[in-house]
Amino acid sequence: MRYAIVTETYPPEINGVALTVQRLELGLCARGHHVEVIRPRQPADAEAGDGGGMQVRGARLPFYAGLRFGMPATRRLLRHWKERVPDAIYVATEGPLGWSALRAARRLGIPVATGFHTRFDHYMRDYAMAWLEPVALGWMRRFHNRAQATLVPTRELADELQRAGFLRVQRLARAVDMRQFAPACRSAGLRAQWGLGESDLAVIHLGRIAAEKNLPLAVRGFRALQRERPDARMVWIGDGPQRAALARENPDFVFCGMQRGEDLARHVASGDLFLFPSRSETFGNVTLEAMASGVATVAFGYGAAREHLRDGVHGATVDGDDAFVKAARALACDDARRRAMGVAAHAAVQRLQPAQVAAEFDALLQRLAEARRNDDAALAPA
């Protein structure tokens, strides 16, 4: 089969959408399919000589330094797909390039699945534009309802979107690479760089350091547990626009910046407790990465935490800020229980293998392609 994946973000950019899209691409390729990725051109492409796939013009995304969006490219996609017709297309992002892909595919009669990866409607609250939340939701609904399927990572989100008028919503589970994230990646040397011994407490946050991540609650939770565990250090893995202010206000925090591959795995596994206060995730891949690494987690009870994190077994799922702080304190002060939770969390995600998700994704795209072929056959003259 010939597939096209259209995305506004892709490695070496580091974020949940980029890495999820890349895993889907690699999974389809491993199953023997031809996959072309269409994305904005990145600065690193010029250094490499050829970024592979098809690149279009891009521009920097406001408020998100280091990320880009693709400029409209409907005509170019029409010409390209007329010459090399994909059996099905996956559009991962709702930006100008994504809209162009939908328009081109519709004119050419190519089936499309879209991915619902980001709650842009919820982001409006975090950037002081709450009045735009219903506008953003309506815009996303119009986008996704143009496709033959909208893929979401949880049953909870599928139900929510269907109630909001989204059509043809289907669940596609997320996976975690157990070859990369594992308790065995824990590093005493890295912990020593953080100023911690093996019996000290490393409290980590993994993800973008930005307003939509609800970071003041992570700080509040850490300061509360630190009063009872003065040996604790707060370690931030990632980067973002709020890093400078956070570092200025909290000079005792450890900032590791963006990490990739084996270095990322070492950083996550070297933590003892993961605080994830975000309320704006559609899923939260980092929850699975922490669980796979054997790190007990405190998170709100939705997305990946609702789907996979059992409260009191793998960490704590909470429904309010005070409960978040209380859970962080409780787990910080009970080393044996916290470690047992980490062991159980690692075991719980063993079944979430990338190969299985790729097989389900492949089957879904093939069903769309087959339905389109059947429609074409029915319309053909006898």
Please state, in angstroms and as integers, the Cα–Cα distance from residue 333 to each residue in 69, 186, 225, following that order.
44, 21, 8
Determine the pLDDT at residue 2: 96
Size of the chain, expressed as the number of residues it contains: 382
Determine the pLDDT at residue 373: 83
- Is the pLDDT score of 48 beyond 90? no
Q: In percent, how much of the chain has pLDDT > 90?
A: 77
Asked if 143 and 94 touch (Cβ cutoff 8 Å), the reply is yes
Determine the pLDDT at residue 15: 84
- Is the pLDDT score of 175 beyond 80? yes
- Is the pLDDT score of 266 beyond 70? yes
Q: Which domains does the chain have, with CATH numbers?
A: 2-175+353-379 (3.40.50.2000), 183-348 (3.40.50.2000)
The answer to whether the peptide bond before residue 40 is cis (omega within 30 degrees of 0) is no
Rounded to an integer, the average pLDDT of 296-301 is: 96
**Cα–Cα dist 201/309, whole Å:** 21
pLDDT band at 25, cuts 50/70/90?
A: very high
Please state, in angstroms and as integers, the Cα–Cα distance from residue 382 to each residue in 195, 377, 379, following that order.
77, 10, 9
Determine the pLDDT at residue 134: 82
Q: In percent, how much of the chain has pLDDT > 70?
A: 91
Average pLDDT, the chain: 91
More confident of the two residues 203 and 60: 203
**Cα–Cα dist 5/32, whole Å:** 16
pLDDT band at 49, cuts 50/70/90?
A: very low
- Is the pLDDT score of 58 beyond 90? no
- Is the pLDDT score of 132 beyond 80? no
Rounded to an integer, the average pLDDT of 188-211 is: 96
Determine the pLDDT at residue 43: 73
